[in-house]
Structure 1
Amino acid sequence: MSGDRPIEDVLDTIGDEHAREVLAAVSREPLSAKELADECDLSKPTVYRRLELLEEHDLVTDRTLVADDGNHYKVFESNFESTVISLEDDEYHVRIYRTGNLSDRFSELWDELHAE
């Protein structure tokens, strides 16, 4: 992911106060945009803009649920575990670790090792 986007984009997203609030809230439990707006004391448009940024960087995922009345709505959850920023040969590299099962993470690592 970080190889596809400039480091500044990733850092700007993580550095945004509202994006961090949204990410922290969905790391505790899956929440809808309305619940996020209430939890973070933000407007719904602000929540949606931050969710869009976080989704661009694959830091949150969404899934659709069906309410008791039959209406559909999305809940968002964190796909972010940690970030490592390194400097090698005068070049910055950002590695974002996402939540997921161990076999998926091992496969990603294996693919990265063989790509170099």
Structure 2
Amino acid sequence: MAREQSASESAELDSVFGALDDADARDIIRTLDEPMTASEISDDCDIPLSTTYRKLDLLTDANLLLEGTEIRSDGHHATTYEVAFEEVRILLTDERDLSVDITRTERSPEERLADIWTAVREET
């Protein structure tokens, strides 16, 4: 008897499928060879900025992008985005369920500290 997928497994699978099914989102992933701001991504991908923000939300919600903070001397810090995975695999389990396996990019101590700073900034 096949087991039912949990709601969180199903939501993660739907989220990743939805993000990867979007042509603009895939273009953003291909473009991000280094952290970039939404404006830079919009320019490089030739996507309107409002659409870029929606696609970045889609990819971030699917845990395929990481948000960071670019500290600027003028005090107007910018959010940056970078690819958060090396590989995404869709697997068919023995129970005939689909599952998603995402190999995450290794994070340096500096990057983890930046992640903490970003989380603190979001809370304040």
TM-score (norm 2): 0.72
Partner residue in 2 for 1:7: 13
Q: In structure 2, what is the Cα distance between the partners aligned to 1:9 and 1:92?
A: 13
How far 1:51 sits from its partner (Å)? Answer: 0.7
Q: Say which SS state the counterpart of residue 9 (structure 2) adopts.
A: coil
Q: Does 1:98 align with 2:104?
A: yes
The 1:9/1:71 distance shift into structure 2, 3 A limit, reads closer
Q: Say which SS state the counterpart of residue 81 (structure 1) adopts.
A: strand
How far 1:3 sits from its partner (Å)? Answer: 2.2
Q: In structure 2, what is the Cα distance between the partners aligned to 1:3 and 1:44?
A: 31
Partner residue in 2 for 1:18: 24
How far 1:80 sits from its partner (Å)? Answer: 1.5
Query: Within 5 Å, which residues of 2 pair with 1:1-116?
Result: 3=9, 5-26=11-32, 28-88=33-93, 89-101=95-107
Unaligned runs of 5+ residues in structure 1 are 102-116
How far 1:6 sits from its partner (Å)? Answer: 5.0
TM-score (norm 1): 0.76
Unaligned runs of 5+ residues in structure 2 are 1-7, 108-124
Larger deviation, residues 38-47 vs 56-65: 56-65
How far 1:48 sits from its partner (Å)? Answer: 0.5
Q: In structure 2, what is the Cα distance between the partners aligned to 1:87 and 1:4?
A: 13
The 1:9/1:84 distance shift into structure 2, 3 A limit, reads same
Deviations 1:40-84 (A, max 9, x none): 000111111011011111111111122243321111111011111
Partner residue in 2 for 1:109: none
RMSD over aligned Cα, in angstroms? Answer: 1.7
- Number of aligned positions between the proteins: 99
